């Protein structure tokens, strides 16, 4: 679970640096599709609804951090 939280955080920050809100919606849908496929195939590490909600929250939070990084960086330059 820790690896997936780290991966989703990095993806969220990178999305926030480059893309706007529709990309967050697409990433959330892709996360849902990936989790459903993971559970359907029966691979180890069954993902529950609670874990999915945690991952979506982490993705959205990291996205907001990624959005705020360029603003913070430009503020400190001037």
- The predicted-structure confidence for 38-67, as pLDDT tens digits, reads as follows 889 988 878 888 999 999 999 999 999 999
| pLDDT, position 78 | 60
Find out whether 58 and 7 touch, Cβ atoms under 8 Å: no
Q: How far apart are CA 46 and CA 78, in angstroms?
A: 49
Alpha helices in 1-78, H assignment, sequence order: 2-18, 21-41, 49-77
Q: How far apart are CA 11 and CA 59, in angstroms?
A: 7
pLDDT at 20: 86
Instruction: Report the alpha-carbon distance of residue 64 to residue 62 in Å, rounded.
Output: 5
pLDDT digits (tens, 9 = 90+) for 5-46: 999 999 999 999 998 889 999 999 999 999 999 889 988 878
CA–CA separation, 56 vs 50, rounded Å? 10
């Amino acid at each position: 679970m820790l690896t997936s939280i780290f991966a989703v955080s990095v993806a969220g920050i990178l999305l926030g640096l480059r893309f706007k809100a529709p990309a967050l919606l697409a990433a959330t849908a892709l996360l849902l599709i990936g989790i459903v496929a993971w559970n359907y195939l029966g691979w180890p590490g069954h993902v529950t609804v609670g874990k999915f909600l945690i991952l979506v929250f982490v993705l959205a939070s990291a996205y907001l951090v990624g959005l705020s990084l360029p603003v913070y960086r430009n503020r400190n330059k001037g």
